[in-house]
Amino acid sequence: MTDTEVEEAAPRGPEGPVVPAQVLPEAWPKGTDHKYIGSLFVVAALVFLVAGAVLALVMRAQLTTAEAEIVGDRTYRQLFTLHGTFSVFLFLLPVWLGLGSAIVPLQIGAARLAFPRLHALSFWLFLFGGIMVAAAPALSDVFHGWTLSDPIPVRLGLRGQGPDLLLLGLVAVCMAAVLVIVNLIVTVLQLRAPGMTLRRVPVFSWSMMVSGAVLLLALPVLIGAFGMLFVDRHYGSSLFSGFTGSRGGNPLIWPRLFWFGAYPMLWALLIPALGAVSEIVATFSGRRLFSRERASVALVGIGVLSFAGWGTEVTTLHRARPLFILGGLLVLAPVALLIVNWLATLRVAGKEGDVAALRRRFAETPMMWALGVVPVLGLGLAASVVSAIDAGRDAHVTYWQTGQQHALFFGAATIGALAALAYWGPKLWGRRTSDGLAKLEILAIVGGVLLTVLGMLLLGVQDMVVHTSTFDSGDDWALGNMVVSAGAAVVGLGLLLVLLNLLGSVVARRGARAGADPWGGQTLEWATTSPPPAHNFDALPEIRSDAPLLDLAIGRSSSAAADSEGA
Amino acid sequence: MSMVAVPATADHLPVPASGAAPVVLPSGEPLPGPVPGRPRRGTTTIGTMLFITADAMVLATLCAVYFAIKEGSAAWPPRGVQVGTYIPTMITITAAMSAFSVQWGVWAARRNDGRNATMALILTLFLGLSIANLEWLTFVRSGFGFNDHTYGTMYDLLIGYHLLHLLAAIVVVLVLAFRVLAGHFTVDRHDALRAGAVFWQYSNVVWFVVVSVLFLASRHG
């Protein structure tokens, strides 16, 4: 192999425009490029993340000291509702949909998504739904919790159109998500480059497939549930109100319906984070995952078992509880296996590689983010064991569950998303972010999340109930609340730094240009320019495994070794 | 050097670089060779099937709520509710006929037989509109309102859910009929037609589920 052929296979150091044409404002609103629409999803998600964080900080301000009167009980419940809804439906869902639809076609060597115009439609539908959700409190109070079950917003004297708008907005958001997922799965099934068999699909794309399959089955349940609740409220039927009888429906159905959809959905929003971390760990170890097969199987295992534990969240399922507890515990096993897989990869890399070089590579920003996921995920898993057994045992949800959910689905999923942004952001937008600032971000967010979660777990042990909007100075909750508030403030600071870093590096274009392959990547997206052209690839290397660029590197070094032996 | 074959029809597939070195693992064994790209047809059909999967979950949710409420009710359907089986039976028979007519359209288009394909799709549209008409009649003649009891709500929601799919399928088949007339489909390219037919068949499946739930599994108490 000659050097020119390598250059052809993996073009490096391009002199093209840093911001591709489709990211410029002229593309709006007609652009259908998957990287452009994916970036729009990510930007919208970050806006809603900030909004959700601001809501959380107001809540924490109210709960920092005993008997505070910053917001009243009703306002607190509104903040609580919107914080949960924003975080799950308007941040975690779109951030993975956006990153997935921007990165997956690149990873499988496709030139586009299967249905580009449907993709654009999905984003605008999502934005429309998101604005409806955000506008809901302007019409009337929305204080039912993100599970919409405290109380269920049926017409029990609760007038006002706010919940109606919220429900319709959520239906639009979920429908948009289903359309993106259909698009993504069809793309992976149909548009893979020659040689890219399903077994060779990179692990992040694989995790998006698994997550997509779960969401494809879980989100429609939520669409149906939100739709029926809307019908109840708006057209005066009584499916979820009243007790048995010929006219009345059954309020016990609502939590079962909601959690049947929402429980797998939460896991599905963690799965891509695990996929992204797997990808990053392999890249920065400079080798394949310890066992790629087991990582794939573990991801599928999480997806399948995520449907088994929903009943742990429901207080009225007495007879079936043991089964659901088993399901809630089983789903933790593949997550633990995946962590072991990462650690084994690092260990083998440390044994076989040059330790000084590895240490340098581990200090790169995406790897630091990815390593930050591990302690948070570990803490979340430990808390989940207790939570699976304890949750739903009695009617009051304590802060233990809040802590567990924040560790797994806020902490690990969000830090994973930030790791993915740090890793693939330079590919999508052509600029690297400031490494120094990134270290501060990682310290603040990982540390802040750990502090927050530990505080919440402490409050859970002390039986503080979730919807409590104030507490007496006599209660022993002061310490825990102070810790949670401090952690939240640090996380808020970290998010601010993330935004400043992105704004300065990418939007103001102060960041260093990212070459085609800033991290020594193994998958196809690093075999094209950063940002990639509209058609993604001018040429593709031959694909013989899930890491074609690693194959090329190995081939190069082995042929160099052969040359030197021959000499 | 093995080149990877790129099918001529797949304009979306990037051309692979030639001349990449054969890759050898550190252990010395070569990696498995490249798998030749296969022409991938039926993208729209597969997309439709995935969408249908999600859609079926919404239908399942509706049915789950129906059965949950039914189990908790003393009398089901409520006293005084008489739902005849004549119109549902007629709809079922019409739906079964439309299943054949739409498939006739696809097979005709596959043989490049535009005349038969157009006729089949027009017949399908006619049958679809008949079903929509009969369904409207069930709403009018049911003798109870949407809010009278939860049976009425679920009855209207389930039949309305089918009506929604039927109307969407009618629009789809109408567009497809015009595309057949415009000569868009050939022996090799009729993916959209197949996808439309799949959606039509799914709309029929929704009806069979709805009629089973509402009329066959309804007696209780």
| Residue A490 located in a structural domain | yes
pLDDT at B41: 77
Quick check: B150 and A237 CB within 8 A?
yes
| Residue A9 located in a structural domain | no
- CATH number, domain of A388, equals 1.20.210.10
Least confident residue range of A320-324, A382-386, B132-136: A320-324
Q: In sequence order, what are the residues at sequence separation of 6 or more whose Cβ sits closer than 8 angstroms to the Cβ of residue A293?
A: none
Length of chain A in terms of residues written: 567
pLDDT at B76: 82
Longest CA–CA separation in chain B, Å: 81
pLDDT at A377: 96
Q: How confident is the model at residue A4 (pLDDT cuts 50, 70, 90)?
A: very low
pLDDT at A270: 97
Domain locations in chain B as residue ranges: 43-216
Peptide bond into B77 cis (omega under 30): yes
| Residue A28 located in a structural domain | yes
Measured in whole angstroms, how far is the alpha carbon of residue B34 from the centre of its chain?
A: 36
pLDDT at A152: 81
| Residue A6 located in a structural domain | no
Residue A131 has pLDDT above 80, yes or no: yes
Q: What is the mean pLDDT of residues B76-100?
A: 90
pLDDT higher at A297 or A240: A297
Contacts of B49 in chain A (CB under 8 A): none
Peptide bond into A153 cis (omega under 30): no
Q: What is the mean pLDDT of residues A120-134?
A: 96
Q: What is the mean pLDDT of residues A255-267?
A: 95
CB of A287 closer than 8 Å to CB of A279: no
| Residue A2 located in a structural domain | no
Which of A178, A41, A57 has the alpha carbon at shortest distance from A115? A178
**Residue B182 forms contact with A (CB below 8 Å):** no
With CA atoms as reference, the chain A residue closest to B38 would be A194
Name the β-bridge partners of A398.
A465
Phi-psi region of A234 (alpha: psi -120 to 50; beta: other; left: phi over 0): alpha
Cβ-in-10-Å burial (0-12, 13-18, 19+) of B80 comes to exposed
- Which tokens hold the place of A178? 């289903």
| Residue A17 located in a structural domain | no
Residue A246 has pLDDT above 80, yes or no: no
Q: What is the mean pLDDT of residues B137-155?
A: 87
A/B interface, count of CB pairs below 8 Å: 199
Residue B119 has pLDDT above 70, yes or no: yes
| Residue A12 located in a structural domain | no
Q: A459 to chain B, minimum CA–CA distance in Å?
A: 36
Contacts of B47 in chain A (CB under 8 A): 114-115, 182-183, 186
Name the β-bridge partners of B204.
none
Structural domain harbouring A236: 22-566
Q: What is the mean pLDDT of residues A229-235?
A: 89
pLDDT at A159: 65
Q: How confident is the model at residue A27 (pLDDT cuts 50, 70, 90)?
A: low
**Residue B6 forms contact with A (CB below 8 Å):** yes
Nearest to A194 among B5, B153, B154 (CB): B5
pLDDT at A207: 97
| Residue A46 located in a structural domain | yes
Q: A45 to chain B, minimum CA–CA distance in Å?
A: 24
Residue A76 has pLDDT above 70, yes or no: yes
- Which tokens hold the place of A22? 């489709």
Q: What is the mean pLDDT of residues B114-126?
A: 95
CATH class of B43-216: mainly alpha
CB of B63 closer than 8 Å to CB of A223: no
Residue A468 has pLDDT above 90, yes or no: no
Beta strands in A412-542 (DSSP E): none
Peptide bond into A151 cis (omega under 30): yes
pLDDT at A392: 66
Residue A3 has pLDDT above 70, yes or no: no
